[in-house]
Amino acid sequence: MIAKIAVSAAVFAIDKPYSYAVPRGMDLCPGQRVAVPFGRANKLTEGVVLLLEEGSDSALKEVREVLDKDPILTPLQLKLAAFLRERCFCTFYEAIRAILPAGLWFRTREKFALTEDRSWKEATIRKAGAREILDLLEQLGGETHGDALTALGLEEDTCREAVAYLAKKKWLRADTEYLRRGNDKTEKIAQLTASPE
């Protein structure tokens, strides 16, 4: 099985549907996002499946990972993306990004930090899991991400209730960060440190 994929790393000059082999056991549908190796360096990049067809896939690179359980684009939206590509002189992937909601390209991460109030050290805390969260935060320098709290082994509900309790007591501050799912292209800029004179 061969998948024709619009790759995010393809610039306008080389924009076309690229062919990738679908590994055995992987279920793909047009409209799903996938991770594929691209270029000579085989750098993992995001793409969207446009079409599936039968054929010899022996010389093709394989799709590495399916990013969405269900298709995020309908066949009609894929046709719209093809129309936008021709009409607006953009890449297929850029046209797809214009169709989809912005929230799809971001993920959230909880960040927790101790406040200046350290009265919790002498206080009697009766909420299950709250003391463990405060001790962990203190060990980690006062702040951490939500992933670290799972290392405590608390149940999800217990952890959520303890965080809400600590935030209400103003011993803990909880913030939500929005991170891009893909990597942005960056450019290094150099500047002289010495005076030009």
Average pLDDT (24-40) is 90
Task: Decide the pairing of beta strands 33-38 and 172-180.
Answer: unpaired
**CA-CA distance, 94 to 78, in Å (whole number)?**
12
Burial level of 189, CB count in 10 A (0-12/13-18/19+)?
exposed
Average pLDDT (51-64) is 87
pLDDT, one tens digit per residue, over 82-110 is 999 989 889 999 998 888 877 766 777 78
Q: Which range (30-44, 58-72, 98-112) has the least confidence?
A: 98-112
For residue 21, how many C-alpha atoms fall within 13 Å in the half-sphere facing its CB?
Answer: 9
Q: How confident is the model at residue 184 (pLDDT cuts 50, 70, 90)?
A: low
Nearest one of 183, 173, 106, 102 to 143, comparing CA atoms: 173
Per-residue pLDDT at 49: 93
Per-residue pLDDT at 138: 87
Beta strands in the chain (DSSP E): 2-7, 18-21, 33-38, 43-53, 65-66, 106-114, 143-145, 172-180
Q: How confident is the model at residue 55 (pLDDT cuts 50, 70, 90)?
A: confident
**CA-CA distance, 177 to 162, in Å (whole number)?**
20
pLDDT at 19 over 80: yes
Per-residue pLDDT at 25: 87
Place of tokens 């021709």: 86
Per-residue pLDDT at 24: 87
pLDDT at 124 over 90: no
